[in-house]
Amino acid sequence: MTSAEPVGLRRDPKSSSRATLLELFFDVFYVAAFAQLSMELAEHSTWSGLGQGLVLLLAVWWTWSVTAIVTEFYDPRLRVIQGVVASAMFGVALMAVAVPSAYEGRGLLFASAYVGLHLVRGALLVGALRPRRAHAREERFLFWFVISGVLWLAGGFVDPAWRVGLWAGALAVDYMATALRHPTPRLGRVPLDQYNQLSVHFGERYQQIAILALGELTLMATLTFASEAHTPARAAVFLIAIATALLFWQIYVLQSNTLVDRSAHWRPRQAVRLAPYVYAGVVTGVIATSAGVELVLHEPLGPTTPTSWVALIVGGPVLFVLGRMSSEYVLLGQLPRSRVGWLVLLLGLTPVLSAQAPIVVLIVTMGVLFGITLTDARRNRHH
């Protein structure tokens, strides 16, 4: 199925790379979702709590990445595509509302919103695409979301102790089906050549959600600091949090235009297939960092306990940098040894940091990020 897609619905790769206002409005709904997820990770910062929060985070992320594919593949100015985006807004809003109690009384609400979002999108697209061979792509997606939807909804009904296992299995189905190109009975897999046509708009959309996530980090740091009693230690943590956001931005923007251009014109297939997974690491890293900052603002000078706190404070930046490095490796063939060295150093210091006050862990982590930006700048000047 290469030329069977209806021309009237397909997005013109040469059209404007700017996101529509509706797409930007859609992204705003993720501010609330990311903030809820950050607070959830901070409030339940045990190892089991982090695992539960990660499942919710990856589910919320998947709703954005799949919708971004739709507005890249189809023209977002069309009414049916606008209907898909608008319906997704309701789903994201309901998921955000359910996040704090997703493993208690609102599990079914979270699962229903997630499943409903995907099924409504699939039904709208299959209904709009004619002839039958044209909507085979969306039938594949819908088939697999029905399968994972059974697990999601079952998890909403069962005892919370079993919920995380069912939802993790459902997530595995969603992520693996996409990685395998949605193999479906009678239809087969999505043809590889359908991934070859990509516009600059795709890279721009991912840049926008990354910057939005960084905005969530600064927002939560500001709100948490404002709600706590002001002390010199908390003031220092707040300033470190803002500096960390700026360092994240500096690491992210390096070669960003080159990456967008390469994804659209040189390696579109790799970009469109790997972006959802690579940016899952980037976004998760920022939200984990935000949760870690919130914990440190509450107790900057106390003990760093439980040890899962270190996983948030240190692991967040590590995930962010690894996600960005993955983009550079896939699209540019670059794997900077300096960044690898800094990350190895930070991870090697983790046992020592576990015995330090939270503010010390945060300072050391920021120092490593600062070191990465310095070596990045030196490497950039050399090239």
In contact, 184 and 140? CB cutoff 8 Å: yes
Q: Report pLDDT for 269.
A: 80
Choosing from 190, 210, 225, the residue where a domain stops is 190
Is 378 within a domain? yes
204-219 burial by CB neighbour count: b if 16+ within 10 A, else e? Answer: bbbbebbebbbebbbb
Tell me: the pLDDT tens digits for 240-297?
999 999 999 999 988 777 777 777 777 788 888 899 999 999 999 999 999 999 999 9
327: β partners: none
The answer to whether the beta carbons of residues 57 and 289 sit under 8 Å apart is: no
How far is the CA of 264 from the CAs of 117, 196, 268, 270, 383, in angstroms?
28, 9, 5, 10, 23
Residue 300: pLDDT band with limits 50, 70, 90: very high
220 falls within a domain: yes
The residue among 19 and 304 whose pLDDT is bigger is 19
pLDDT at position 379? 77
Q: What is the mean pLDDT of residues 192-215?
A: 87
Q: Which residues, in sequence order, are CB contacts of 184 under 8 Å at separation 6+?
A: 139, 140, 143, 144
Say whether both 173 and 222 belong to one domain: no
- 161 and 219 inside one domain: no
Residue 170 vs residue 75, higher pLDDT: 170
Residues 263 and 127 in one domain: no
Does a structural domain hold residue 320? yes
- C-alpha distances in Å from residue 74, one per residue of 106, 166, 202: 34, 32, 12
In a domain, 4, yes or no: no
Answer yes or no: is 5 within a domain: no
Decide if 280 is inside a domain: yes
Q: What is residue 270's predicted lDDT score, i.e. its pLDDT?
A: 82
Question: CB neighbours of 195 closer than 8 A, spacing ≥ 6?
Answer: 268, 269, 272, 273
The answer to whether the beta carbons of residues 118 and 66 sit under 8 Å apart is: yes
Stretch 151-166: mean pLDDT, rounded?
A: 93
Strand partners, 188: 184
Please indicate, yes or no, if residue 16 is contained in any of the structural domains: no
**Nearest one of 348, 289, 294 to 315, comparing CA atoms:** 289
User: Are 102 and 185 members of one domain?
Assistant: yes
The last residue of a domain, from among 190, 217, 244? 190
Q: What pLDDT is stored for residue 7 in this prediction?
A: 43
pLDDT at residue 15, rounded to an integer = 64
Give residue-wise pLDDT tens across range 213-247.
Answer: 999 999 999 999 999 999 999 999 999 999 999 99
Whether residue 360 has pLDDT greater than 90: yes
Predicted confidence (pLDDT) at residue 373 exceeds the cutoff of 90: yes
Same domain (yes/no): 213, 168: no
- Of 141, 170, 190, the position where a domain reaches its end is 190
25 and 104 in a single domain? The answer is yes
Range of the domain at 367: 200-382
- Give bridge partners of residue 74 from the DSSP assignment: 10
> Are residues 289 and 357 both part of a single domain?
yes
pLDDT score of 6:
41
Backbone angles phi, psi at 372, to 5 degrees: -60, -45
Same domain, 265 and 315: yes
In a shared domain, residues 233 and 90: no
Measured at the alpha carbon of residue 81, what is the angle toward residues 76 and 191, in degrees to the nearest 5? 85
Q: How many domains does the chain have?
A: 2
The per-residue pLDDT for range 308-344, each reduced to its tens digit, is 889 999 999 999 999 999 988 888 778 888 999 999 9
Q: What is the pLDDT of residues 120-158, one digit of tens each?
A: 999 998 888 765 555 678 889 999 999 999 999 999 999
In a domain, 12, yes or no: no
Residues 99 and 207 in one domain: no
B/e letters for 310-323, b = 16+ CB within 10 Å, e = fewer, are: bbbbbbbbbbbbbb
Q: Based on the domain organization, do 207 and 184 belong to the same domain?
A: no
223 with 146, same domain: the answer is no
The whole-number pLDDT of residue 3 equals: 37
pLDDT surpasses 90 at 112: yes
Among residues 58, 66, 64, the alpha carbon closest in space to that of 102 is found at 58
